[in-house]
């Protein structure tokens, strides 16, 4: 039975109160006044006729209500048991907060409003949250670009590692599905920024320079986000020289400045290298045709060997220019790291290509070696004739 808070109340007082007081039913939301607080439990006066107790896990809600409660405050709670062994009504702050949260989420779903939630867990499919027992889920496909886990080969373990780093963070989302009966809902961070992204996209034009952050690094390029938008710096637009591994140029979170070089619907093509001086502008003067250059073999292709002349400048020795003999594979006569001396035979500044020749350089060297020998042969007869005449 219910405990009387004020023992001085007369029967007439009690009878007068019975019309207003209705015995709390299980699941009902009741309002009461805090009359005592001890560690991990709160005593609540329910209209002067019954006493309620909030204890243990039921004192903890997502709003952290108990942290600010003090004696004399009014509090909303849900009835979870008629009476405990002490005759007090068992109440729950958590359940009351859950009811409020359901109302809030259902309204947000209906009105398309944005809600703020905190991620509590991650799995390979996305992010999970728990709001006073309400289970929420943000699928990977519904994450904003800045949080989308872009990894090479869609490696599930790497995706999970990236997602786990988001646990504990606040997310602004839209509710895209809600079901109070099952206690579950689906949220979308991407939907929450779509209107902002659309407005930002309309303001952009090719040539604009933007400051952003690296959101992903994959084998074919670098993803960069700014203003709720995301674009791709293709591997060919990272640097003026040959780039074989984008991971050597950036990591997730790095600040980066990019130039917009293409806009197609909601896809943005970006460039990092176009904001740097093109070393090829002076290349014809630096490496004139016919000049001999020194370099290092740094990679092969099916049609020749590439020579690194300086940081962002590579030349190509075509198969036909490697040797006087016909070869099918440059690896037959060359190796990565070989130091070579080659002759510049072609320059295409627009296409950023330098044609080199080992064969031409070797032939020239042979001619130079042969020249003194021929001169010596020509001089020998002259000396012979002179000596004969003298004789």
Would you call 322 exposed, middle or buried from its count of C-beta atoms within 10 A (0-12, 13-18, 19+)?
Answer: buried
Average pLDDT over residues 203-210: 93
Same domain (yes/no): 301, 268: no
State the average pLDDT over residues 76-83: 88
> Which pTM does this prediction carry?
0.60
Own/partner long-range contacts of 146-153 (Cβ < 8 Å, ≥24 apart): 146/213, 146/215, 146/225, 146/230, 147/171, 147/189, 147/215, 148/215, 148/216, 148/230, 149/216, 150/215, 150/216, 150/217, 150/218, 150/223, 151/216, 151/218, 152/218, 152/219
> What is the pLDDT, as a whole number, of residue 100?
85
Where do the DSSP E strands lie in 5-125? 29-38, 41-46, 50-55, 74-81, 89-92, 114-118, 121-123
In tens, the pLDDT along 38-58 reads: 878 899 999 888 899 999 888
The per-residue pLDDT for range 91-121, each reduced to its tens digit, is 999 888 888 889 999 999 999 999 999 999 9
Q: What is the mean pLDDT of residues 202-206?
A: 90
- Asked if residues 31 and 75 have their Cβ atoms less than 8 Å apart, the reply is yes
144 and 229 in contact (C-beta within 8 Å)? no
Residue 340 inside a domain? The answer is: yes
User: How far, rounded to the nearest angstrom, does the alpha carbon of residue 34 sit from its chain's CA centroid?
Assistant: 47
Residues 91 and 41 in one domain: yes
Domain count, the chain: 4
The answer to whether residue 223 sits within a structural domain is yes
Q: What is the pLDDT of residues 144-158, one digit of tens each?
A: 888 888 877 778 888
Where does residue 229 rank: exposed (0-12), middle (13-18), buried (19+ CB within 10 A)?
buried
Q: Are residues 18 and 83 in the same domain?
A: yes
Over pLDDT 70: what percentage of the chain? Answer: 87
What local confidence, expressed as pLDDT, does residue 1 receive?
A: 36
Helix (H, G, I), strand (E, B) or coil at 225: strand
At residue 71, does pLDDT exceed 90? Answer: yes
CA distances from 113 to 85, 110, 153, 176, 285 (A): 44, 8, 35, 10, 62
The answer as to whether 6 is a domain residue is no
The confidence score (pLDDT) of residue 242 equals 80
Asked if residue 133 is part of any domain, the answer here is yes
Domain end position, chosen among 275, 300, 330: 275
Please check whether residue 302 lies inside any domain of the structure. Answer: yes
Tell me: the pLDDT tens digits for 235-275? 999 998 788 899 999 998 899 999 999 998 878 999 999 99
Residue where one domain finishes, among candidates 97, 124, 142:
97
The enclosing domain of 58 has a CATH number of 2.40.50.140
Q: What is the mean pLDDT of residues 157-167?
A: 92
Per-residue pLDDT at 15 exceeds 50 = no
Q: Which domain holds residue 260?
A: 204-275
């Amino acid at each position: 039975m219910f405990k009387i808070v004020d023992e001085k109340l007369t029967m007439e007082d009690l009878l007068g109160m019975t019309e207003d007081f209705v015995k709390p039913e299980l699941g009902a939301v009741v309002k009461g006044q805090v009359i005592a607080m001890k560690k991990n439990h709160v005593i609540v006066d329910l209209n002067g006729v019954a006493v309620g107790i909030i204890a243990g896990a039921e004192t903890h809600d997502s709003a952290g209500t108990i942290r600010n409660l003090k004696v004399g405050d009014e509090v909303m709670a849900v009835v979870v048991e008629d009476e405990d062994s002490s005759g007090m009504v068992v109440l729950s702050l958590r359940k009351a907060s859950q009811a409020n949260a359901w109302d809030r989420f259902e309204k947000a779903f209906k009105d398309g409003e944005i809600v703020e939630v905190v991620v509590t867990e991650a799995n390979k499919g996305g992010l999970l949250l728990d709001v006073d027992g309400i289970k929420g889920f943000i699928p990977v496909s519904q994450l904003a670009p800045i949080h989308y886990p872009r990894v090479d080969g869609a490696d599930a373990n790497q995706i999970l590692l990236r997602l786990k780093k988001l646990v504990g963070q606040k997310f602004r989302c839209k509710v895209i599905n809600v079901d109070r009966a099952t206690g579950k809902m689906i949220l979308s961070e991407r939907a929450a920024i779509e209107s902002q992204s659309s407005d930002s996209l309309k303001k952009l034009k090719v040539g604009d320079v933007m400051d952003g952050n690296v959101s992903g690094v994959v084998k074919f390029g670098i993803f960069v986000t700014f203003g709720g938008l995301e674009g791709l710096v293709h591997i060919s637009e990272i640097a003026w020289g040959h780039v074989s591994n984008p991971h050597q140029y950036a990591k997730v979170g790095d600040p980066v400045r990019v130039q917009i070089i293409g806009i197609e619907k909601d896809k943005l093509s970006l460039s990092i290298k176009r904001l740097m001086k093109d070393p090829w502008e002076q290349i014809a003067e630096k490496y004139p045709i016919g000049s001999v250059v020194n370099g290092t073999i740094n990679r092969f292709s099916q049609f020749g060997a590439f020579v690194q002349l300086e940081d962002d400048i590579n030349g190509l020795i075509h198969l036909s220019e490697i040797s006087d003999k016909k070869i099918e594979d440059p690896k037959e006569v060359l190796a990565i790291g070989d130091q070579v001396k080659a002759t510049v035979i072609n320059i295409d500044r627009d296409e950023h290509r330098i044609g080199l020749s080992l064969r031409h350089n070797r032939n020239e060297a042979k001619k130079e070696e042969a020249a003194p020998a021929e001169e010596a042969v020509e001089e020998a007869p002259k000396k012979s004739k002179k000596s004969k005449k003298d004789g």
